[in-house]
Structure 1
Amino acid sequence: MQKIMLATDFSERSDRALRRAILLARQFGADLAIIHVVDDDQPHRIVKIEHDEAEELLRQTADTLRKVDGVASETRVVLASPFAGIITAVNDAKPDLLVIGPHRRQMLKDVFIGTTAERTIRLIDCPVLMVNAPPTGPYQHVIQTTDLSNLSGEALERFLALGIGQDARQTLLYVFDAPALRLAMSHMLSTDDQKDYITSAEKDASRNLTKFLAAASLGSVTPMVRYNRSTAHHEIQKTAEAERADLVVLSTHGRTGLEKMLIGSVTEHVLRTSSVDILAIPPVTSA
Structure 2
Amino acid sequence: MTIKTIIAAIALEHGEQQVARRAIRLAAAHGARLVLAHAIESLPESDPRLPSPANEKAIASMLEAEAIASLRQLAESAAVQVEVEVECGKADQLIERLIRDHAADLLVIGPGRPQNLRERIFGSTADRVVRVGLCPVLVVKRATDDPYRRVIAAVDFSPMSFAAAQTAAQIAPPAKLELIHAFEIPHTFEQAMLKVGTSQAELDRYREAKAQTAYAELRSVRADLAVAGKIRVVRGDPATALVRVARSGRADLIALGIQGKNAVSRLILGSVARRVLAASSCDVLLAGGAMSRD
Q: TM-score, normalised by structure 1?
A: 0.77
Q: Of 120, 140, 143, which aligns to 2:132?
A: 120
Counterpart secondary structure, 1:253: coil
Residues 20, 131 of structure 1: 8 Å contact kept: yes
Matches within 5 A, 1:72-221: 72-105=81-114, 109-110=123-124, 120-121=132-133, 125-160=134-169, 163-179=170-186, 181-182=187-188, 197=203, 200-214=206-220, 217-220=224-227, 221=229
* 2:287 counterpart residue number: 281
Match of 1:70 in 2: 79
Partner of 2:38: 36
1:223 to 228, 231, 234: 231
The structure with the greater share of residues assigned to helix is: 1
Instruction: Give, in whole Å, the separation in 1 of the partners of 2:269 and 2:162.
Output: 16
Structure 2 Cα separation of the partners of residues 166 and 157 of structure 1: 10
State the one-letter code of the partner of 2:79.
G
- Deviation string 1:179-226 (CA, Å, 9 cap, x unpaired) is 1x246958x89xxx7798467424413323413542661122321111
> Which of these residues, 14, 22, 25, is aligned with residue 23 of structure 1?
25
- How far apart, in 2, do the equivalents of 1:129 and 1:151 lie? 15
Per the alignment, do residues 159 and 214 of structure 1 end up closer, same or farther by CA in structure 2, a change over 3 Å counting? same
Tell whether the 8 Å contact from 1:173 to 1:224 is kept in structure 2 after alignment: yes
Q: Match of 1:217, SS?
A: helix
Stretch moving more, 149-158 or 85-94:
149-158
Q: 1:171 and 1:206, CA in 2 relative to 1: closer, same or farther beyond 3 A? A: farther
Give structure 2 stretches of 5+ with no counterpart.
47-55
Q: Say if 2:246 and 2:276, in contact at 8 Å, map to a contact too.
A: no
**Distance across 2 between alignment mates of 1:241 and 1:199:** 31
How far apart are 1:52 and its partner, in Å? 2.7
Q: Percent identity?
A: 28
RMSD, aligned α-carbons: 3.3
Give the alignment's TM-score, normalised by structure 2.
0.76
Q: Which runs of 4+ in 1 moved over 6 A?
A: 193-196
Q: Partner amino acid for 1:54? A: A
* Matches of 2:114 and 2:203, distance apart in 1: 39
Q: How many residues align?
A: 264
- The DSSP-based 3-state class of the residue aligned with 1:36 is strand
Per the alignment, residue 49 of structure 2 pairs with none
Q: Which has the larger radius of gyration?
A: 2
